[in-house]
Amino acid sequence: MRKTALLNSDISEVISKMGHKDMIAIGDCGLPIPDETRRIDLAIIKNLPTFIDTLKAILLELQVEEVILATETKDINPKVFDEIKEEIKDTKITFISHEELKVKLKECKAVVRTGEQTPYANIILKSGVVF
């Protein structure tokens, strides 16, 4: 049995295969995921699991050098934006439009779908290095 905190084998597999600058996304349950991008569906019921709990779990395993957020997140969902900032600390944030973020999902190794049902609770995490 795994000793580390993250137990989801699909997420662990993606993270273990990621290199520098590779990307993984976490999205609310309404985020459209491109057919060509791997979908890891965690959504069970409304808000289970939450976006922020999923982000916390992934950050336990993934070294992140940059996050990409939709500009709309800080304007329309300031609560989630504040929670993201608390979790990522001083990590660089790049803002793009929500439409650009949806296009960028095609470049991600996977999109993790949560049960979150608040607007613009989506993020792309860009992998860093541990050395």
Please report, in range form, the residues annotated as the binding site.
Answer: 28, 98, 120-122
- Asked about 20 being catalytic, the answer comes back as yes
Structure tokens belonging to residue 52: 């922020």
The residues, any chain, with a CB within 8 Å of residue 125's CB and separated by 6 or more, are 23, 24, 25, 26, 58, 59, 62, 64, 66, 67
Short-list 114, 112, 113, 111, CA closest to 48? 114
State the catalytic residue, choosing from 17, 20, 39, 106: 20
Q: Is 39 helix (H, G, I), strand (E, B) or coil?
A: strand
Residues tagged in the binding site annotation for substrate: 28, 98, 120-122
* 83: exposed, middle or buried (Cβ count in 10 Å: 0-12, 13-18, 19+): middle
63, 127 in Cβ contact below 8 A? yes
Give the active site residues.
20
